[in-house]
Amino acid sequence: MIAASDRAPGPGELMRAAAVVAEAYRTSLGEAQGTTDPRRARVEAIRLVRERGLPVRAVDDAGSPGWGQRADDLSAFAAAGGSVDVVLRGGLDAADDPGYAALVRAGAAARLTAQPGVRLVLAGEEAAWVGIGSADEWRVIRVVTPVVLTALAALHEHLRMTGVVTSDPVLVALAFGVGDERAAAATGVSYRTYTRRVRTLMDQAGVGTRFELACWAREQGRL
């Protein structure tokens, strides 16, 4: 298995990573013994990373149950000097999420993604907590098996490398391939206002197409 820090995993590796996680849960964790309440898992994770000063990597969903509290925990840890790297799923809808904004202000490494994935928290190389079940009723499994931790780290790395750092809704829409009409509706502005914002950014960048604007934003570190 290739470590997550060596390079971005390919699609085949991500499928194998997902299979490893699923198999580990099915064969060795078991629903009755291996799952816990999300609140209890949160307390356990906070205690471990604070006591041992471990870096935190997380993947979460904007607007999911309990996200606000988890965002507060991660922001507080980052503000206190802890290493926090979060990928927030939700795409364009997550661009103005208060929890995402709080993470950025606290100094956490935070990115947005529209790709699917599991909800997870990695505490260094020692343990991970993975959410399973539906959004309305979900449980958490604690993972300590090295090969599964490596698979989860690879998944986090892939989402991090393909995510975007900006919270500008226009740039997020460009990055995720969202059309102008849908982007305008999602950001709560008229189509005319949205396209005027796109044109303003293109003029600032000195480019003539949306593709060139996206390339410019990437070069400027805004995507």
Candidate CATH numbers 1.10.287.180, 3.40.50.360, 3.30.870.10, 3.40.50.12160; the one for domain 11-162: 3.30.870.10
Sheet with 84-89, side-by-side order of all strands: 35-36, 138-143, 127-133, 120-123, 56-61, 84-89, 109-113
CA 72 to CA 98: how far, in whole Å? 10
Helices (H), 107-145: none
- CATH architecture label of 169-219: Orthogonal Bundle (1.10)
Strand 138-143 vs strand 127-133: parallel, antiparallel, or unpaired?
antiparallel
Interval 159-205: pLDDT, tens: 887 777 666 777 777 777 777 887 777 667 788 888 888 888 888 88
Q: Residue 164: its pLDDT value, please?
A: 76
What percentage of the chain's residues is helix, strand, coil (to nearest 5)? 55, 15, 30
Strand 84-89 vs strand 109-113: parallel, antiparallel, or unpaired?
parallel
Q: Where are the domains of the chain?
A: 11-162, 169-219
- What average pLDDT score do residues 3-30 get? 51
